């Protein structure tokens, strides 16, 4: 039996404790960060102001007038230790389908508009990502990217932004690409970006440096609360959820966009139980079992 990575704690001024589980991105580290921060929220410890889970770390902000740094650190170490045994960890999460129009004209337009900031200005972002990952066939690339489930490991930056990392793959199987040399000043709303091994969907128009490979037909933020699934929080992303892309064409994209505008679109979701232990033991096979016929 193995334990999840050991955590290193550091004080950040008088109000923060930063917990680093690992310096490199590991799914196991993210599982632990999610488990610890979930438990912290459940305990409602007086003096804790905010709890933020990241890719392989977490941050706790506290009021030193209510709880001392040392007392809080003792709480964190105790919780962290109990969440290091994968046999005791289970998550209730959702699989969410993301209809995606790959290599769409808007993403392509933004590629060329900011080509002076790109590592390969003669290629669109989509072409560049294909090239650096050894793909020569567009459909083969789309199939590979869309068949992979992605775990939401962190949310932040712009509200609603979710970093998602491929599940069940070996390092040499992961589609990844370098970011822009300097960020774009604009990125299309719902643009699907790839930077390193992480994917994001830009919730609104704004700056960005990830390679644009397509566009989501559905929003990840609903500020008007028109869509049933987003009425409670306005945000689609939840750390620990799994996003699965479904390739669509222009006609399907327009149909879904129309349903979104009228509030009629219904997100395809499925509740599942996720076991870090089974993931560690079975890898890709476990991911296939989780996804089923989704």
Kindly state whether residues 26 and 103 are assigned to the same domain.
no
**Number of domains making up the chain:** 2
Instruction: Tell me, yes or no, whether 254 and 227 share the same domain.
Output: yes
Residues 71 and 197: their CA atoms lie apart, in Å, by 37
**Distance separating alpha carbons of residues 175 and 141, to the nearest angstrom:** 9
Same-domain status, 48 and 123? no
Tokens of 118: 């790109």
How would you classify the pairing of strands 242-247 and 91-102?
parallel
Whether 17 and 37 map to the same domain: the answer is: yes
Phi and psi torsions of 258, nearest 5°: -65, -40
What is the model's pLDDT at position 3?
A: 62
Q: Domain range spanning residue 68?
A: 8-85
List 95's β-bridge partners, or say none: 242, 270
Please state the φ and ψ torsions of residue 285, each to the nearest 5 degrees: -65, -40
Residues 35 and 115 placed together within one structural domain of the fold? no
Q: What is the pTM of this model?
A: 0.92
pLDDT at 156: 84
pLDDT reported for residue 116 = 95
Digit-by-digit pLDDT tens for the chain (294 residues) are 456 778 999 999 899 999 999 888 888 889 999 999 999 999 999 999 999 999 999 999 999 999 999 999 999 999 998 888 878 888 999 999 999 999 999 999 999 999 999 999 999 999 999 999 999 999 999 999 999 999 999 998 788 899 999 999 988 999 999 999 999 999 999 999 999 999 999 999 999 999 999 999 999 999 888 888 888 889 999 999 999 999 999 999 999 999 999 999 999 999 999 998 899 889 999 999 999 988
Q: What pLDDT was estimated at residue 1? A: 45
> Does any domain span residue 3?
no
What pLDDT score does 294 carry? Answer: 87
Would you state the pLDDT for residue 2?
53
Look up residue 38 and give its two tokens.
Answer: 């979930």
Going 76 to 81 to 84 to 85, the CA torsion angle's sign is: negative
């Amino acid at each position: 039996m193995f334990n999840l990575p050991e955590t290193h704690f550091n004080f950040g001024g008088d109000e923060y404790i930063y917990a680093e589980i690992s310096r490199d991105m590991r799914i196991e580290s993210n599982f632990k960060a999610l488990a610890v921060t979930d438990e912290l929220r459940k305990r409602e410890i007086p003096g804790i102001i905010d709890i933020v889970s990241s890719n392989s770390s977490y941050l706790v902000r506290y009021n030193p007038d209510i709880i001392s740094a040392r007392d809080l650190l003792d709480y964190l170490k105790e919780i962290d230790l109990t969440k290091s045994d994968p046999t005791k960890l289970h998550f209730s999460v959702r699989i969410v389908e993301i209809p995606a129009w790959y290599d769409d004209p808007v993403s392509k337009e933004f590629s060329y508009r900011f080509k002076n900031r790109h590592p390969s200005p003669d290629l669109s972002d989509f072409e560049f990502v294909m090239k650096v990952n050894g793909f020569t066939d567009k459909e083969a690339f789309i199939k590979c990217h869309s068949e992979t489930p992605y775990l939401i490991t962190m949310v932040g930056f712009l509200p609603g932004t979710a970093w998602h990392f491929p599940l069940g793959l070996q390092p040499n199987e992961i589609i990844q690409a370098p970011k822009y040399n300097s960020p774009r000043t604009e990125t299309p709303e719902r643009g699907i970006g790839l930077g390193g091994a992480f994917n994001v969907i830009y919730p609104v128009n704004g700056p960005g440096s990830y390679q644009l490979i397509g566009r989501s037909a559905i929003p990840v933020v609903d500020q008007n609360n028109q869509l049933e699934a987003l009425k409670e929080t306005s945000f689609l992303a939840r750390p620990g959820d799994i996003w699965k892309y479904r390739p669509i064409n222009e006609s399907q994209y327009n149909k879904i966009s129309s349903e979104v505008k009228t509030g009629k679109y219904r997100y395809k979701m499925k509740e599942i139980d996720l076991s870090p232990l089974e993931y560690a033991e079975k890898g890709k096979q476990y991911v296939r079992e989780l996804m089923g016929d989704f």
